Amino acid sequence: MGVIGSGVGGLAIAIRMATKGYQVTVFEKNDHPGGKLSQIKAKGYRFDTGPSLFTLPELVDELEDYAGEKKSQQLPYKKLDIICKYFYQNGKTINAYTDPERFAQECKKQVGENPDRIRTHLKKVEILYKQTANIFLFNSLHRIKNYFRWEVLKAVLRFDRVNLFSTMHNENQKRFTTPEVIQLFDRYATYNGSSPFMAPATLNVIGHLENNIGAYFPTQGMYAIAEHLHQLAVSKGVDFQFNKLVKRIVIENKQAKAIETDSGIHTFDIICSDTDVSYLADNMLQHPLEKRLKRMQPSSSALIFYWGVKKEFPELELHNIIFSNNYRSEFDAYFNKKTIYHDPSVYIFISSKMVKEDAPPGRENWFVMVNAPTTDGQNWDELIKETRKNIVKKINNRFNVKIENFIEYEEIGSPLTIEANTLSKGGALYGHSGNSKFATILRHPNFLRSIKNLYFVGGSVHPGGGIPLCLASAKIVDKEIPGNL
């Protein structure tokens, strides 16, 4: 079996197939595994460069168990007490505690939200997750047989609970009374690169993973996930070919036959792509799937500043958000005007709060991110310069500091670098957005009926982006490929 790309989805399917007895070779254009899940080391600092939130860690546990890894060798992680600390421009703050009841009481104490409304919402999204997860997240939507199951029928009979025809924001306005809590729950649309003002309220289910199940963090940082999965794959006999850009998937008689790289043609019985499907359609595979992809709206991208900060900020947690004062205008800028809003919501992730070795003593490693549009002819030099100025001003005003005086190291990640480093078209973080009622169903499938022996995993295909869903995509493909050899 040949696997293109070593992101989380590619690593997971390589492990699964090697465990079944397949000989697996992974081709990776970079010199390291992980895809978007990468790291930077410089000047005594270490930065995770990709996903920074770890939910559903049991999917990693399950993969390790599947591969027969001993418990003592499995990835160590811990549950967070505070998922995220939210800062509002009116001076208020909310600590989103992992414990749901404590979180509900915090929302009452800080902004006056009725805790019963928090409890009711969390119960609704828990029910929604239980009704839909196995259908939409852990099975293919492109096998007719999967629809003739009792759990699917039950979900159809309770279709009104899915909230497909209301936007996330409209539904949250009904459920909560305070603008701060509405904005907090609207934020979950960004977890798959969407806008809460366009995405269906069904996406409120994303909040269940954090608020009901919990948020976690690997004891050695996020990149430890990629390193661990790579080591597990190697232990199962997977061959990794780094610095190998795949040029083409060879198709003969409607079957995937081989992978072409600079070193020649490599023949395989089965091929699985962990590459952004839009890039694949444009560069590796000439196929009608291009038409499907052009109809879909790309997800958001990101502008990230990696700052080595020579100061500690006890008022900040591992994950922090300084919200925009006008969320609707912010998302209008990303998806309609194709620019970055002048007052963006700023996410600050500081892994050294948990992993002291990630920054020198008395210092912190700041991952400072704002949402951004995909590349569409913008003057990124000017946009990055202006956005940095706006972020610095926002941080200084909120924390009464001159943060620019404490930045001793800086590196920048933008839609341009994301596209170059990960081959994600336009720098889209999640392939396509969820900004339509049927985005989940229209998402690219994990296989094609028109080409045999070709499969797809990763964040740009079903069921979606983020570490848990990439792991789920590998689980789906595992079911589709013949059993143990």
Counting beta carbons within 10 angstroms of the beta carbon of residue 275, is it exposed (0 to 12), middle (13 to 18) or buried (19 or more)?
Answer: buried
Which of 111-115, 190-194, 292-296, 367-371 shows the lowest per-residue confidence on average (mean pLDDT)? 292-296
**Contact between residue 221 and residue 46 where contact means Cβ atoms under 8 Å apart:** yes
Task: Assess whether 15 and 110 both reside in one domain.
Answer: no
Strand, helix or coil for residue 176: coil
pLDDT of residue 143: 65
- Say what the pLDDT of residue 144 is: 59
> Angle, nearest 10°, between helix axes 115-136 and 168-175?
150
Indicate the burial class of 317 (C-beta count within 10 angstroms; 0-12, 13-18, 19 or more).
Answer: buried
Last residue of a domain, one of 189, 214, 239: 214
Residues 371 and 311 in one domain: yes
Domain-terminating residue out of 403, 422, 441: 422
Residue 190 pLDDT grade (very low, low, confident, very high; cuts 50, 70, 90): very high
- DSSP assignment letter at 210: I
Name the one residue in this structure whose structure tokens are 């977890």. 191
Give the SS3 label for residue 241. strand
Residues 312 and 258 in one domain: no
Q: Which residue has the tokens 């499938």?
A: 445
Question: pTM for the full model?
Answer: 0.93
167 assigned to some structural domain: yes
CA 327, CA 324: separation in Å to the nearest integer? Answer: 6
With respect to residue 8, please indicate whether it lies within any of the assigned structural domains: yes
On whether both 145 and 111 belong to a single domain, the answer is yes
Asked if 323 and 408 sit in the same domain, the reply is yes
Continuous segment of H or E residues that includes residue 105: helix 100-111
pLDDT of 88 strictly over 80:
yes
Same domain, 313 and 413: yes
Residue 440 scores a pLDDT above 80: no
Which has more confidence, 347 or 440? 347
Q: Is the pLDDT assigned to residue 12 strictly greater than 50?
A: yes
Band (pLDDT 50/70/90 cuts) for residue 291 is low
User: What's the pLDDT at 137?
Assistant: 72
Residue 473 has pLDDT above 80, yes or no: yes
**Which domain CATH number covers 376?**
3.30.519
Which of 147-156, 321-330, 436-445, 459-468 is predicted least confidently?
Answer: 147-156
Mean pLDDT of 52-69: 96
pLDDT(286) > 80 = no
Q: Is residue 92 part of a domain?
A: no
Q: Is residue 86 part of a domain?
A: no
User: Torsions phi, psi of 144, nearest 5?
Assistant: -55, -35
Phi-psi region of 114 (alpha: psi -120 to 50; beta: other; left: phi over 0): beta
Tokens coding 209: 């993973």
Residue 164: per-residue pLDDT: 63
**Same domain membership, residue 348 and residue 404:** yes
416-425, pLDDT tens digit by residue? 999 999 999 9
Q: What is the pLDDT of residue 443?
A: 81
Are residue 469 and residue 369 in the same domain, yes or no? Answer: no
pLDDT tens-digit readout, 264-278: 999 999 999 999 999
- 3-class SS at 419? helix
The residue with greater pLDDT, 170 or 156, is 170
On whether both 205 and 252 belong to a single domain, the answer is no
Q: Residues of the chain with pLDDT > 90: what percent?
A: 80
The answer to whether position 319 is within a domain reads: yes
375-391 mean pLDDT: 97
| pLDDT score for 145 | 60
Q: How many alpha carbons fall within 13 Å on the CB side of residue 92? A: 18
What is the total count of domains within the chain?
3
Q: Is residue 85 part of a domain?
A: no
- C-alpha 305/C-alpha 348 separation (Å) is 10
The predicted pLDDT at position 272 comes to 98
Boundaries of domain holding 138 = 106-214
- Pick from 473, 421, 485, 479: which is nearest to 11 by CA? 473
- Specify the CATH number for the domain of residue 28: 3.50.50.60
Q: Which residue has the tokens 């039950």?
A: 154
Residue 158 pLDDT more than 60?
Answer: no
Which residue among 158, 181, 214 closes a domain? Answer: 214
Pair 226, 206 in one domain: no
Regarding beta strands 346-349 and 447-448, do their DSSP bridges make them parallel or antiparallel, or are they unpaired? unpaired
Going by C-beta distance under 8 Å and a sequence separation of 6 or more, which residues neighbour residue 194?
203, 299, 300, 433, 434, 435, 439
Tell whether the model's pLDDT for residue 290 goes beyond 70: no
Average pLDDT estimate for 327-334: 97
Of 299, 244, 249, nearest to 429 by C-alpha is 299
Q: Using CA atoms, how far apart are residues 362 and 308, in angstroms rounded to an integer?
A: 11
The residue that leads in pLDDT, 68 or 140, is 68
Q: How far lies 69's CA from each of 64, 175, 218, 232, 240, in Å?
A: 5, 44, 17, 8, 20
**Domain match, 347 and 393 both:** yes
In a domain, 334, yes or no: yes
> Residue 431: pLDDT band by 50, 70, 90 thresholds?
confident
Residue 45 in any domain: the answer is: no
Q: Specify whether the CB–CB gap between 81 and 97 falls below 8 A.
A: yes
How far from 32 is each of 55, 243, 248, 416, CA to CA, in Å?
Answer: 24, 8, 21, 20
Whether residue 111 is found in the same domain as residue 201? yes
- Residue 157: what pLDDT? 47
The confidence score (pLDDT) of residue 317 equals 98
Phi and psi at residue 38, in whole multiples of 5°?
Answer: -135, -165
Tell me the C-alpha distance between 266 and 245, whole Å: 13
Overall average pLDDT of the 96-124 stretch: 97
Strands 301-309 and 407-413: what pairing? antiparallel
Higher pLDDT: 256 or 143? It is 256
CA distance 262 to 253: 24
How far apart, in whole angstroms, are the C-alpha atoms of residue 301 and residue 206?
A: 19
pLDDT tens, residue by residue, 202-234: 889 899 999 999 999 999 999 999 999 999 999
